[in-house]
Amino acid sequence: MIRLLLLADTHLGFDLPARPRVEKRRRGPDFFTNTRLALEPAIRGEVDLVVHGGDLLYRSKVPAGLVAMALEPLLEVAYAGVPVVLVPGNHERSVLPYPLLAAHERLHVLDHPHTVELFFNGTRVALGGFPCVRDGIRDVFADRLRATGVLGVDADLRLLCIHQTVEGARVKGYTFANGADVIPGRAIPEGFAAVLSGHIHRAQVLDRDLAGRAIAAPVVYPGSVERTSRAERDEAKGFMILEFEGDARCGGRLEKETFYELPARPMFDVTIDASGLGPETLSETIQRELEALPGDAVVQLRVEGELVPEAAEMIRAARLRAMHPETMTVDLRFRRAGR
């Protein structure tokens, strides 16, 4: 049995400015904390290998220092003796320092279509994959898959590692059905134990297409390690540990998947109609609303209406920070009446 830790969409660097203009609790450290928590089973030697499904970073152009910080957790896993396979996602594929990554023999980057071959107690494992295709994956998927050569590798366990959207993937209120950037379920060939993917931030396992037909290999999304938008406020965030049985005749089987939830910070929306409220009343109203929330909440505070001149002072950044604990993150959105 091969145990594999799958995480993705860590988006390291999110809300972590190099020169912050305002001193407040940033969300950036939360992404690093949860990434490290997700990798702890690998550090403890509880899994055989780690796959990062892409979007290690939060955008395509970041400072060199941030790249080094983002790579550090993966390097710790590699130095602990556990191989790491990284799929470049749409956010970081143009900036990862591949020569630096290649300097460690247990850190493998699928920076072009190819296959990584590993051996665990006599079990031959082949992980094929390619960097995220940003536009038109539907038309080129078969060619990119063929270019990896993975289906021609003699292996007991064969896995496809991508950072793409597959038919049937779900996000809040929407299911991806077709389109140029969606891989049809029927396009996934036999010969794989599973398809491991990032890009979709909601954890899920797809085993059928939207017509109800079985997909040749289950598609596993671990989801993101933290909430990157308010649309994800009700989603659990975490990582998966997958257990595979090798079988050279069919590429192996996924026997068990377990989702481990990470301590993602709770998100709340607070809306206050400030029309006609004096400064003290507005201040008390805001403070009362914030005090009712968890101390580590991420809050979007919407103040609406026509402010009296004196009350405008109450929603300045310094005033707001005095109304909530330092452990809370509050972003203000102000909208005047009629706008």
CA quadruple 252, 253, 259, 260: dihedral sign: negative
**pLDDT value, residue 311:** 83
Residues 178, 181, 185, 191, Cα dihedral to 10°: 170
Tens-digit pLDDT profile for residues 264-322: 999 999 999 988 889 899 999 999 999 999 999 999 999 998 888 888 888 888 888 88
**Which pLDDT score, from 0 to 100, does residue 163 have?**
97
Contact 146, 192 (CB under 8 A): no
The backbone torsions φ and ψ at residue 302, rounded to the nearest 5 degrees and listed phi first, read -105, 120
Burial zone of 65 (CB within 10 Å; 0-12 exposed, 13-18 middle, 19+ buried)? exposed
The stretches in the chain having pLDDT less than 70 are: 17-18, 20-22, 92-103, 337-339
For residues 70 and 31, what is the distance between their CA atoms, to the nearest angstrom? 10
**Helix (H, G, I), strand (E, B), or coil: what is residue 144?**
helix
Q: Which residues contact 152 (CB under 8 A, 6 or more apart)?
A: none
Task: Report yes or no: 109 and 102 within 8 Å, Cβ to Cβ.
Answer: yes
Q: Tell me what pLDDT residue 80 has.
A: 95
- Prediction pTM value: 0.92
Cβ count within 10 A of residue 117: 14
Residue 69 phi/psi, 5-degree rounding, is: -65, -40
pLDDT for res 48: 97
Query: How far is Cα of residue 144 from the mean position of the Cα atoms in its chain?
Result: 23
Q: What is the pLDDT of residue 335?
A: 76
Q: What pLDDT does 293 receive?
A: 96
pLDDT at 128: 98
Q: What pLDDT shows up at residue 101? A: 54
